[in-house]
Structure formats: structure tokens, C-alpha cells
Amino acid sequence: MNPIDLPPSPVRLQATSAPNQPEPTAALEELYRGFEQELLVPLWTEIGGLMPPHPRSKAEAHLWRWDRLKQLASEAGHIVPVGRGGERRAIALANPALGGRPYATPTLWAAIQYLMPGEHAPEHRHTQHAFRFIVEGEGVWTVVGGDPVRMSRGDFLPQAGWNWHAHHNAATEPMAWIDGLDIPFSYYTESQFFEHGRDEITAAEQTTPDRSRSERLWGHPGLRPLSQPADTPGTPLLAYRWEDTDRALSDQLALEEEGHVGVISPGHAAVRFTHPGTGRDVLPTIRCEMHRVRAGSTTRSWREVGSSVYQIFEGTGKVSVGSKEWRVQRGDMLVVPSWVSFQARCDDDAALDLFRFSDAPIFEALHQHRVQIDAE
Amino acid sequence: MNPIDLPPSPVRLQATSAPNQPEPTAALEELYRGFEQELLVPLWTEIGGLMPPHPRSKAEAHLWRWDRLKQLASEAGHIVPVGRGGERRAIALANPALGGRPYATPTLWAAIQYLMPGEHAPEHRHTQHAFRFIVEGEGVWTVVGGDPVRMSRGDFLPQAGWNWHAHHNAATEPMAWIDGLDIPFSYYTESQFFEHGRDEITAAEQTTPDRSRSERLWGHPGLRPLSQPADTPGTPLLAYRWEDTDRALSDQLALEEEGHVGVISPGHAAVRFTHPGTGRDVLPTIRCEMHRVRAGSTTRSWREVGSSVYQIFEGTGKVSVGSKEWRVQRGDMLVVPSWVSFQARCDDDAALDLFRFSDAPIFEALHQHRVQIDAE
Amino acid sequence: MNPIDLPPSPVRLQATSAPNQPEPTAALEELYRGFEQELLVPLWTEIGGLMPPHPRSKAEAHLWRWDRLKQLASEAGHIVPVGRGGERRAIALANPALGGRPYATPTLWAAIQYLMPGEHAPEHRHTQHAFRFIVEGEGVWTVVGGDPVRMSRGDFLPQAGWNWHAHHNAATEPMAWIDGLDIPFSYYTESQFFEHGRDEITAAEQTTPDRSRSERLWGHPGLRPLSQPADTPGTPLLAYRWEDTDRALSDQLALEEEGHVGVISPGHAAVRFTHPGTGRDVLPTIRCEMHRVRAGSTTRSWREVGSSVYQIFEGTGKVSVGSKEWRVQRGDMLVVPSWVSFQARCDDDAALDLFRFSDAPIFEALHQHRVQIDAE
Amino acid sequence: MNPIDLPPSPVRLQATSAPNQPEPTAALEELYRGFEQELLVPLWTEIGGLMPPHPRSKAEAHLWRWDRLKQLASEAGHIVPVGRGGERRAIALANPALGGRPYATPTLWAAIQYLMPGEHAPEHRHTQHAFRFIVEGEGVWTVVGGDPVRMSRGDFLPQAGWNWHAHHNAATEPMAWIDGLDIPFSYYTESQFFEHGRDEITAAEQTTPDRSRSERLWGHPGLRPLSQPADTPGTPLLAYRWEDTDRALSDQLALEEEGHVGVISPGHAAVRFTHPGTGRDVLPTIRCEMHRVRAGSTTRSWREVGSSVYQIFEGTGKVSVGSKEWRVQRGDMLVVPSWVSFQARCDDDAALDLFRFSDAPIFEALHQHRVQIDAE
């Protein structure tokens, strides 16, 4: 049995004298035996858990330290080969409250991936949407539909479902980065397809251009290449470079200093990675953003429907999630469950940059999104 | 512990000599202990289950017999009171492969609800979307936002999230009907809100009009009342009456006989219940349809992403779901898991009418829907 | 030269001492001659007319009496044959301020069409969107894509662009109705296509069914036939029957009497004809509505961007358009230019029913629509 | 009378013996007199002109030479002051077939605007959508909602309707640029509003920053500032800089050379200026694009519904529009009427860059757009 599959345990009902429950009589016991036999469960025993006043996440807030992630990934790099079958040397965050399964949150997968010098990860495609984010290092290219895309510190590489892709490390050093996917959501909703591609990519695909073809077509602000369709579900732009993201965040903080609109709250700049052909989220199920908190500043505290994963990109500070609080630094990853408050405070010396991804597009598409700013 | 919650079991990894797994060495064992300690799970041990070539549902095809459902609901009617706390005398189908939880499929809740003469079910509202479908009986009114809506055989009553609603049985007989909701989906994605309303509705709300106010505003074909907003997430029309549905299906079969387009395949008529202000599905997460198979005819066999629940409304025939096959009759309910084939064959004497609901709008909104017609 | 085409008169500019104009000097005169020679016109001489503070319509409010329209159409019925080339015996309202051209307003065509017993109007199609509305009479069928559609008093028949259509009068009496199209808009924007079809339709198409095939597929409230595409630009429902429209309006007034929402202002009920597959306007460029004013009631006075044409369907009353006011009765047609106020008052004895069409969808699609309710 | 207004000539009908016309009899003459008296025009006399088989534009293809435009604008700079009332020193192209009116095409306004050193053009706002394109020069800033936007060669500055704006020339040289607006369309459809703003802008608004605040917020590829609303009708990005446009076009031609997709036909690169928050056209009624034809290459010949205006930005070549053909060079402006073929051929020495704007978004929004590539 796969550890993520649950035993098909039969229906078990128990008459109790708990509040709001029918009086435990022999008749009730007999009724419950009838329910069990016919595979039926009443609402009245379940409603408290199933239909709470507001989301009560099964997941827990939790923090993973980057140095430990990297160290274990590096050890795996020496022990575990990369190849067809296992497909990727990816190691996923397992939320402590989600039963040992590789789910950072109920909907999101977050993993560190590691590739040794000269290694290739074989081509495949899947309907799960994915992205890479690079907190440090360089040397690996992701080849998407034959287009090699450079990966360097600060870059964000979205990967919409059903695109063929492979990785190759052209450098002399190993490289680590994080992968985000909607694997748990696809698994839960049973909507996923997967295919193997070629075991080897061609020499032409192993080139290491500074800019991918997708960037040359789509990476110009507000300019749509007329040869390309615009209304695809996921973004056609395969890399969002750090120099652009960094400048956008700096511009917002500078505008604030000059007395103009720009930040979302004092000292808090933020950009969302978007599909240049539609302005929507880069991926139909995953929202990705970069946040910058000015030195000494604190974000507002807010909660929203759906879950998020953060990775500290740069700087140090304190992050609180519900009743938990951690000091954080580069590379640390943490989980914010649904409807749990989040707030970040930057130390006084330098800005705090946080990469964030969440499942918000799912809820917006279904008209179920809610956000609440906590009173100060 | 609520039976639907899972034990927060820790991460457990085991080095094995299975195909596509790294060689089980001492180093690997040590690596796995490190993973466990840091709450990490590798992709390579999970990919087979998590990322299959196509959806492999955790749910099973299963059939529930209407006479047993009604009998148990009737017994509950005499034993289990209806009131605040338990909220509704609703008894849910528990898919045999979903761990004893009240889930017909991973995303859908399907229950029989039962109300005794003179009883009231107290007012509440929730973000979960809901509908009622009445396979037989009458006498109960659902009061939605103060608007009493009659429920009679063949009627379909959608109930978009966050509307206040209550039920009252104005007749001298008990009445049963089915409820469909997206409770499992909301529970899994942790996006639900719930509020109690008034314990008693007013005398004015306990009237028993033949047509609800919503029908008087919205129940005229192609006519939008200008006093009402049109672009709401869920339908403003609170009842779709059997006489309309029946006529629409009869018209399609008559058109087919006259040699015109109308049916979706020979002998198979079908309508979808839609939001009259947008033409979209009545509920953002649930699709509802009525299908009619001509006497002696067989539908095509098809599979799609996402799960469905059917209730036989009228007629007899044979239904196959994947490798299972059942003879069916009025009221029987059955489940079609994701990517499992469905086909219905009507007996030779009279048409077979099937009510169907599914989670397809979720996948369409996220660009993940697929349908495949099986070759004949 | 076609009377609707303008003489290509050359540019003529005159230096004047009017306010806001440059001083009329010899140099200015010379400059203006240079402009004329190079086909140039300055903004400063035109801005007052071209860019007014709010729309100032070139059209005038005007009323046409139904008895005169019918009488002239009847005379044409005896003199002017119907056939290929002229295509239709349609006689258009020519707004007195639009240069003798057959434009009711700058964007809308409104005509009375007349067909003698046994006559046919030949098949053609065009990208202009059209509808028929029947203020009295019956006996003619419009055949749309081979589907004969009955036309009777009160019925509304939309006809989206590029559908083949013909008419045949199967009765022993002549019949008149009104046609509405976006001919002036299409002519002005130069976006129209036109093709002749067959000169004769088949015997099968000359049947006279009570309900068209389109109504049997689409004329059931909130029910979409699954065999049909839903997201077409124009409505697939080819007839909106008076009994439905009448009932919808009566329901709104009854709801008002019972103290419930329903009317758009006291005593004023209104429905919009909509595409059942999308909820949008029946035609991409033309909005069509039916309004009912309770005996003794008055509508609010409002103005909006874009123009409208009204036909009195039933009842008597007083209508004011800007500074004009008329007593009106069955069949009378009148024009409301852009940004001119409209108000209707119903006489005390019986309700006043008004059919209305306008170009509002053009402005809504382009984000240029504005409505202003006049203070009372 | 404003020269753009037409005399309200009465209806005039003439019985003729032309083909497809009713026989000219005394009865017909009498009928026509009745029509005239009642302000009616029959379809059968007008259908040929009003409903042609395909668009037959009232406009003509025409070319304006940049040196003459600049010379006349310069003369106006010395004679005609800029100020409240006339508002702008803008001189519009008047299509030779549009009756001396300042319309480049039936829907589009195209003008050269000219500002002397130190001059200001006063603040106003209007619902007409506008843009500036700069073929040469620099020194002027457009202040939009208080945000000064630099204008330099190759820059494109869209200006969605109802934004306050003014211009100031901070340099020691005069400057010319082109303005494009939907003035004729707004005038024809009678949907426009206009308001004066302040006569003087503040000193703070007269600064001359290299980048506008809008660019600092929105000018980063694929990055949405979270503090800003995204779904506005017009683009929030107020300048699209030449260096970005140039690079995007060069990239497409380089991709073609490398054997990859990128150009729309051999040797023909093209980008559309788009709203970064929605991916749609920058303005609801105007499409703006930049095209580059490789030295020695020829575009395909195509026609489409709606009209275009081109300005040669750089290079020399030959352009054919319908049966006309011109040699063109920097700054020349030309008009392509609806459904008239366009083709450009670049000379052999250097690329030909063409700026284009059109009314295509109007037709796309109304489902009336058609494009036809001419067979080669």
C-alpha cells in the first residue's frame, strides 16, 4: 500500500450522549447498525467537524530550516541516482499534521530539488502545474518544449501543466532549488495525467543560452508577440528574472518614500507573477508573489481562505503564523494553513524578501476566496 | 477525534529493493532517518501513487438501493429529532473505499433527507453549495432568504452558498428527498464558513405558495427581470420544475424522431440546469443534469475527469460503471468515480430518466477537464 | 450616388474672430490654405462640436403613428413586389435630423415590414443583427436555417447575424410587423457582409408548426440542451412568446403589490430578452426589452448613452422625450436620442406596455455606457 | 453650423426604372410622396448601398508626407497659441473621401501635435481614448493624473478615457508627435463626455523624470504591483519605451534566423501594445502595434474588417493599399480603409518599422471581426 493511500475502513458509528446528539437508545444503536451495513453516515454526528464556522485547517504552521534541507539534499545527491522511474531528486516538505504524506499543505507540494554536475533529469509531462524558484546557485537549465531556460538566484520559472520538460546541470557544482506544484490538489481531486518523454534530450537542447526563447518572445513589458496565441491557461513566459523583480520592489518602496502610492501597506512592497497574455495568475491553480518588507517594518496581519508556503529569499526577521513565531533567514521555508494569520517583521538592518506561493486561484475561480485583515 | 479526521501519523520511510528505487544501503537508511526527522518525503518513493498516468480514483463505483435508504430514513424519522446542532435529518452515502467517511465521492456529498409532518429544520447558511432533488413525494417547502419554495416530484432546487435557508413540512405525511453538496471538497480545501440563523421562521415564511418568488422573477425562458442583478456566482432561480424538464427531454426525443438535431447520441436526450442570468452551471462547484434514454436505447460509454452521482428518477434498465453492472429502478443511487466509464441501457418498455450531479465545474474553471468517449 | 453617401467635399477652413479661435490674420489664412491643400483640419476649429461636454445627438426625438405606417405599408403591398434584389418590403423610419437617410437613430434601423397572403421573401443572410416584433396580426413564419418560426402578436424574434432566413405568409390576410437592425452602425463602421440564398425554400420549410425547433431546444427556463453549443454570439432561441413575457411582467407587478422586490421603480415592471446560453443580450449590438407601467403610474425619468426606439404594444398614456411630449397608443413608434431623458406615464384605466430596443450592448462592451436617473 | 454636422435634409425619393426597383408608376410616385411626408425610406431603394456583399469603405487610401505635416505644424506653432478653448495645437488628417471632416478613417482620428519650448497645453479629460506616438524629438512630458511621462522617439503613450492630462515642453526646442483617438467613433455613436481641468499644473507636476510613476509600478515584464487594481478598461502603463519595443522586434527576427517560431510571416516581426493587467488591447477601442519588416522582405497581403492608420517609424520601402502604392519613408502616414488589402515591402538596405493603430477592438468586442489573407 502506498503510504498516501488510506485503509478503506468500514463505516463505524457510535451512539453517544454528547451534546446535540440523539439519545443513545437501543433503537438508535440498531439504526446505526443499519447505517453501517448500508454504508451510510448521518450528518448529525459529523456536522461539527465537516461544517465548522470557519476553516479549521488539518495542517499545522511549521518551519523548515534551509541548511538542513540543503544538507539532506546534498547527501541524497551522493546516494540516490536521478533517472526514469523516480524522475527527479526532489524531497518534499511533509506537514506534521498531514499523516506523514508529502504535502506541505492540503493542496500544495513544496520540495527541494538537487542536481549534481553533469546530471540530467529525464523528460516527462504532467497536468500538475509546477514552478521552480531559485534561492541560491546557478548552472542548471530547465528545457521546456525544447527551450532551455537558465536558472539563477532569484529567478522564478513557472511551468504550466502538460508541457514536456527536463533538467540538465551544465556546471561543475551541484545545484539546489525549490519546486512548487499542485500535486496534493490533483491527487485529491483525481484529475491528473502523466507521460514519460524522451530519456535524453538533444545536444541542441543542452545549450546554455542566457535568455530562453520564451523570454525573447514574451519578456518585454506590455508587448505581445503577434505570432503567439495569448489566451493559454498557463503563462507562456518561462522565466521571471530577479533583476526585474528586484527593481519592481525597489520602485515601490521608492515611490512610498516620495509620497506616492505603490506599497500595499507601509513598508511592504509586493508583486505578483502574472501571465503576460492575460494578466491572470501564472498557473491556474497556484499564485506566486514576491514580497519585500523594508528594514524595521512590519506587514499587516491577515488571514485568507487557502494555504501558502513562504521561502525567505533574503534578509532576517521574525515571522508569526497563528500562535507560532520564528526568527527566519535565507532559504527557510514555512507553511501558513487556511484562515491562519500571517505577519512578518523585518530586522532593522536590511530588507526582508519573501517568496510566496498559494492556492488562491482555485478559490477565486470558484468564488470562494475571502481575505480578512486583522485589526491592529 | 472526529472520524473524518486522520491521525497525524509521523513520516515513515522504508528503503526497499523495489524497481525504480535506490539501492537499500545503510547510507540510504540513514538518509531516510534524516528525512523523517526533518519531516521530508522524497518524490521517488511516492511518484507512482501520486502522479499516475491517468486518474485512479480512491473511490469505488457503488450502488445504494432506494428502498433501503427510505426505510432507514423513515426509522431515523421516528428516533432522531431535528433541531439546532444536528441541523438536518440527513443521512449521507459513504463510499466503501473512502474510509468510512460520509463522502459519496472525494468531492461530493449525497444524502437522503427526511422530514416528518409538521417538522421544521432550523435556519442556517453555509458557503457549501447545495441542491435538493425530489424523486417522490411532496409537502415540504424550503424557505430561502424568506422565499418559500415548494418541493414536488421531479423538481430540482439549487441553493447557492451563503443563502439563509430552512425547511418546513406543511403536509400530513413524511417526505424524503436527496441533498447534494460540495461538503467533501470544501472540507478538503478548507474553504468553508457556517452560521446559524433564526430557530423559527415567521408565519409569513410558512405559507405554501405554488410558485416561489424566485420563479416569478426568473422562471420565464430567456427573460431577465431588470430589477435583479444577473451575474451572481450561483443561480437566482430556486426551483426548476419537473413539467419543464420533462417537456425539454420529450422535445429532444421528438426532434430526433423527426430527423432533426436534438439528442446527444441516438436515443439519449439531456439537459443541464443552468443559471438564467449567466448560462453557467447553477452552482460554481456542482453540475446538475437530467438525462433520458429512450426505451431500448443505450447511451455511449464515456469517462471524464471528476466524479458523478446518479439517481434513477424513473424507468428501469442496466447501468455499467467500469467493470460493475447493476439493474436499476426508481430512486437507486450510484457513484461514478473519476475517469471510470459510464453507460446506461434502458429497458424496452419505457424511457429511463437519470438525474446526475458532478464536480465538473471545478475542473472546467481550472482548465483541467477532460472527456473521452469510449470506442464502440 | 446613393442618398446615404455624402459628397466627398474638400476641406474648407475659415479664419474667424470667434471666441477661442486664433486671430484671423493673413498668416492664419495662409496656414489654413496649406491645411486644405494637404487635407488637414485643426482641432481648435472643431473641438466644440466634436468633443462636447456630454452627448448632443444629431438625431431628434420623433414619433411615428402606427395607423399611418400600416396604411402606407398596405399601399406598398399592392404596388411593390417582394423579390430578389429588393429582398424585403420593409419601410424604415427616417429620423428628421439625419439627412433623409433611413436611420431611426445614428445606429439603429427600425422598419415596418409587410407581407401579402401567399407571398415569400427570398432567403438571404447578413452580418447585421436583426429582430422582428409583432404588434398585431399573425400568419407569417420566418424560416431561419430551415426552422420555421411562427410570428404572432407580442412575440419577439431575434435573428443573430449570418443566419440564413426567409419569410412566408401562409395566411389569407396580409401581415405587418417591425424589423429592428443595426444597419446604420454596420454601415458606419463598415463591417457588414451579405449573401443571397435560395430563391425558394422547400415545402418542408413551409410548414407552419406552432413551436419552432429552436424553442423546443432552448425555450425551457434554465435548461440547456446538451447537444447544442451554448456560447454563441447571438441567441439560439428564435422566438420569445408573448404568453411568457406577459406573465413575467404580471408577476413583477403582483410581487410589488405583495410587498416584495420585483419592479425597477414603483409601478414599472421590465424584462430584458436574453441569450439563454449566456444570459447576455440576445444580439451583440442590440438590447431588447419589454416594459409595463401600471395604470396611473409614471416611470422614473432617465437618460443614457446610446439611443433607443420604442413601440407602444398596448395601452395609452403620455411619453416625454427631452422637451417633447406625445399621447401614445398601440403601435406608435418613437425615438429617444443619446443622453436625452425619457419618461412614460400610463393612463388610469389599463397598463401601458412598451417594447424597447437600443444600442446599449455596444457601449457596455466598450466600457462607455452611462445611465443617469433624473432627480424627481 | 459645424462643418462636421450634416444639413438635416428631408427625405427625397425618386421612382426609377433601375434594376430591382418597382415599376415607376403614378401610384408608386404617390406612395413615395406619402413616405416622404411621414419620414419613411424603403429598403428596396437603399439596400445596395446599405447592405453590400462586403465592406465598401467610404474612406479612401491616402498618404500624408511627414515633411509637409511637420512644416505646417511648425508654422501653426508660430501663429496659433495653445490654451483653454482650443485646448491643443493638433492638426488632424482629413480623409479625402470623408467630406472635409477631420477623420482619418470613419472611426479614427490621427493628428500631429506641436508644442513650442516652454509651452503648456491645459489639463482636461474626455471619454475618448487617446495615445501619443513619437516618431522623432523629445522634451515634452505628458502629465497624466499628476504623473509626468517623458516622450522620446519611439515611445508609445496610451491614454485611456477620463484621465486628467496636460502637456508641458520643458526643452528649448519645439516638439511634434502624433495623437490617435477614437473621436469620430465617439462622435458618431454619441457617447462622449469632456471636462476642463486646471489651467496650470503644479511645479511638482512639471518635473521631468526619466521614468513615470506608472512605469515604476507597471513596467516590469509579467509583474503586477499588488497595490493596484488590475482589471481597468484601459492600460495603467502610460509609456511603452522604444528600447523594449525595439528589442522585442529584434528578438523575433533573430529567432527566425535561428530556425524558431517568432515572426508572423517570413521576415515580418510584430508586437501588440497590451494592458499588463489583462493582456487585452491598451485601449478598449484602439489597437496599437509595431511591425518590423526585414530588409528585402515583403509582408503578406491581408485585409480585415475595420480601418487602420500607419506611420513609418524608420526605414524606406513600398506600401500598397488596395490599388494604390507609395514609396514611404520616416514619418509618412497612411490610411487603410476597411476590407482593403495592405502589403509592405522593405527596401534592401535596412529594416522597415511601421507603427499601426486600428479600430479592431470594437469589432472583436462585438464579434464582427474578420481577417482574410490574400492568396499569393
Lowest mean pLDDT among A151-155, A348-352, C299-303, D81-85: D81-85
Q: How many Å is the Cα radius of gyration of chain B? A: 23
What pLDDT is attached to residue A138?
94
3-state secondary structure of D22: coil
Q: Which three cell numbers stand for residue B206?
A: 410558512
B120: which residues sit within 8 A by CB, 6+ positions away? B82, B166, B167, B168, B169, B200, B201
Closest C-alpha among A168, A184, A174, A24 to residue A98: A184
**Cβ burial, residue D34 (10 Å; 0-12/13-18/19+):** middle
Locate the chain A residue with the closest alpha carbon to D230: A279
Dihedral sign (CA B214, B217, B220, B224): negative
Strands, E, within C265-336: which ranges?
Answer: 268-273, 287-293, 302-304, 308-314, 317-321, 324-328, 333-336
Q: Which of A38, A75, A96 sits opposite B31 (nearest CB)?
A: A75
For residue D239, pLDDT beyond 60: yes
Helix (H) or strand (E) holding C27: helix C26-38
Could you tell me which residues are beta bridge partners of residue D357? Answer: D288, D309
CA distances from D373 to A226, D339, D340, D345, D370 (A): 15, 11, 11, 16, 10
What pLDDT is attached to residue B8?
62
The stretch B80-108 carries a mean pLDDT of 95
**What pLDDT band is residue D9 in, cutting at 50, 70 and 90?**
confident
The span from the CA of C304 to the CA of A212, in Å, is: 51
Please tell me the distance in Å from C170's CA to the nearest CA on chain D. Answer: 23
Q: Which three cell numbers stand for residue C169?
A: 405568409
Instruction: Domain C62-218: give its CATH superfamily.
Output: Jelly Rolls (2.60.120.10)
Q: Which three cell numbers stand for residue B250?
A: 420529450
The span from the CA of A62 to the CA of A93, in Å, is: 10
The pTM score is 0.97
Q: Which of A251, A262, A276 sits opposite D221 (nearest CB)?
A: A276
For residue C138, pLDDT beyond 90: yes
- Residues of chain B with Cβ-Cβ distance to C225 below 8 Å are 248, 252, 262, 270-271
Q: Are B87 and B124 in contact (CB under 8 A)?
A: yes
A69: which residues sit within 8 A by CB, 6+ positions away? A91, A112, A176, A331, A333, B38, B40
pLDDT in tens, A218-240: 999 999 999 999 999 999 999 99
D229 touches chain C (CB under 8 A): no
Cβ–Cβ gap A76/B193 under 8 Å: no
Instruction: Domain B242-373: give its CATH superfamily.
Output: Jelly Rolls (2.60.120.10)
Please tell me the distance in Å from C278's CA to the nearest CA on chain D. Answer: 14
Percentage with pLDDT > 70 across chain D = 98
A108 touches chain B (CB under 8 A): no
The span from the CA of B204 to the CA of B196, in Å, is: 20
Locate the chain D residue with the closest alpha carbon to C81: D22
C-alpha C9 chain-centroid distance: 31
For residue C2, pLDDT beyond 50: no
Residues belonging to chain C:
376
A136: which residues sit within 8 A by CB, 6+ positions away? A153, A176, A330, A331
Q: Which of A43, A64, A183 sits opposite B92 (nearest CB)?
A: A43
pLDDT in tens, C318-349: 999 999 999 999 999 999 999 999 999 999 99
For the sheet with B324-328, list strands across it: B324-328, B317-321, B342-346, B302-304, B371-373
The span from the CA of C342 to the CA of C270, in Å, is: 15
**What pLDDT band is residue B6 in, cutting at 50, 70 and 90?**
low
Q: Which three cell numbers stand for residue D91?
A: 492638426
CA dihedral C65, C66, C70, C76 (to 10 degrees): 40
3-state secondary structure of A333: strand
Angle at A104 between CA A99 and CA A109, to 5 degrees: 115
Q: What is the DSSP string of A208-263?
A: --SS-HHHHHH-STTEEETTS----SS-S---B-HHHHHHHHHHHHHHHHTT-S--
Using CB atoms and an 8 Å cut-off, which of residues 286-345 of chain B contact chain C? 289
What pLDDT is attached to residue A2?
41
The stretch D317-326 carries a mean pLDDT of 98
D242 touches chain A (CB under 8 A): no
The stretch B77-81 carries a mean pLDDT of 96
pLDDT in tens, D240-259: 999 999 999 999 999 999 99
Domain ranges of chain D: 1-51, 62-218, 242-373
For residue D3, pLDDT beyond 70: no
The span from the CA of B286 to the CA of B308, in Å, is: 10
Neighbouring chains of C at 3+ CB pairs within 8 Å?
Answer: B, D
> What ipTM was estimated for this complex?
0.96
Please tell me the distance in Å from B358's CA to the nearest CA on chain A. Answer: 12
For residue C244, pLDDT beyond 60: yes
Cβ–Cβ gap A278/D282 under 8 Å: no
Q: For chain A, what is the mean pLDDT?
A: 95
pLDDT in tens, B140-179: 999 999 999 999 999 999 999 999 999 999 999 999 999 9
The stretch A43-69 carries a mean pLDDT of 96
C-alpha C243 chain-centroid distance: 22
3-state secondary structure of D116: coil
For residue D137, pLDDT beyond 60: yes
The span from the CA of B115 to the CA of D375, in Å, is: 71
Q: Are D121 and D167 in contact (CB under 8 A)?
A: yes
Percentage with pLDDT > 70 across chain B = 98
3-state secondary structure of D160: coil
B217 touches chain C (CB under 8 A): yes
Cβ–Cβ gap B87/A56 under 8 Å: no
Helix (H) or strand (E) holding B317: strand B317-321
What pLDDT is attached to residue C4?
43
The span from the CA of D89 to the CA of D92, in Å, is: 10
The span from the CA of B25 to the CA of B37, in Å, is: 19
What pLDDT is attached to residue C308?
98
Domain B62-218 and domain B242-373 have a common topology: yes
- Residues of chain D with Cβ-Cβ distance to A272 below 8 Å are 223-224, 226
D102: which residues sit within 8 A by CB, 6+ positions away? C41, C42, C43, C46, C50, D4, D92, D93, D94, D109, D111, D183
Q: What is the DSSP string of D264-321?
A: SBTTEEEEEEB-TTTSSBSSSS-EEEEEEE-TT-BPPPEEESS-EEEEEEE--EEEEE
pLDDT in tens, D254-303: 999 999 999 999 999 999 999 999 999 999 999 999 999 999 999 999 99
Q: Which of A255, A271, A277 sits opposite D279 (nearest CB)?
A: A277
C with D: touching (≥3 Cβ pairs within 8 Å): yes
- Residues of chain C with Cβ-Cβ distance to B270 below 8 Å are 225-227
Q: For chain B, what is the mean pLDDT?
A: 95
Closest C-alpha among A51, A27, A36, A26 to residue B86: A51
Alpha helices in chain A (DSSP H): 26-38, 47-50, 66-79, 183-189, 213-218, 242-257, 360-365
Q: Which of A216, A248, A278 sits opposite D255 (nearest CB)?
A: A216
Q: Which of C40, C183, C339 sits opposite D94 (nearest CB)?
A: C40
- B/e letters for B276-301, b = 16+ CB within 10 Å, e = fewer, are bbbbbbbbbbbbbbbbbbbeebbbbe
For residue B2, pLDDT beyond 80: no
C193 touches chain D (CB under 8 A): yes
**Cβ burial, residue B274 (10 Å; 0-12/13-18/19+):** buried
- B/e letters for C203-222, b = 16+ CB within 10 Å, e = fewer, are eebeeeeeebbbbbbbbbbb
Residue C304, φ and ψ in degrees, nearest 5: -150, 160
Q: Which three cell numbers stand for residue B33?
A: 532517518
Residues belonging to chain D:
376
- Residues of chain A with Cβ-Cβ distance to D216 below 8 Å are 251-252, 254-255, 262
The stretch B332-344 carries a mean pLDDT of 98
What pLDDT is attached to residue C375?
86
What pLDDT is attached to residue A8?
62
Cβ–Cβ gap A189/B363 under 8 Å: yes
DSSP state of B205: G
- Residues of chain B with Cβ-Cβ distance to C304 below 8 Å are none
Cβ–Cβ gap A222/D218 under 8 Å: yes
Q: What is the DSSP string of D213-277?
A: HHHHHH-STTEEETTS----SS-S---B-HHHHHHHHHHHHHHHHTT-S--SBTTEEEEEEB-TT
Residues belonging to chain B:
376
B263 touches chain C (CB under 8 A): yes
DSSP strand pairing (D352-358 vs D138-144): unpaired
The stretch C16-34 carries a mean pLDDT of 94
Cβ–Cβ gap B273/C223 under 8 Å: yes
For residue D6, pLDDT beyond 60: no
What pLDDT is attached to residue D10?
84
Please tell me the distance in Å from D203's CA to the nearest CA on chain C. Answer: 26
- Interface probe for D, chosen from A245, A274, A373 (most Cβ of D below 10 Å), is A274
Locate the chain D residue with the closest alpha carbon to A213: D255
3-state secondary structure of C337: coil
The stretch C193-207 carries a mean pLDDT of 93
The span from the CA of D14 to the CA of C235, in Å, is: 38
For residue B4, pLDDT beyond 50: no
- Residues of chain A with Cβ-Cβ distance to B338 below 8 Å are 189-191
Phi-psi region of A282 (alpha: psi -120 to 50; beta: other; left: phi over 0): alpha
What pLDDT is attached to residue D80?
96
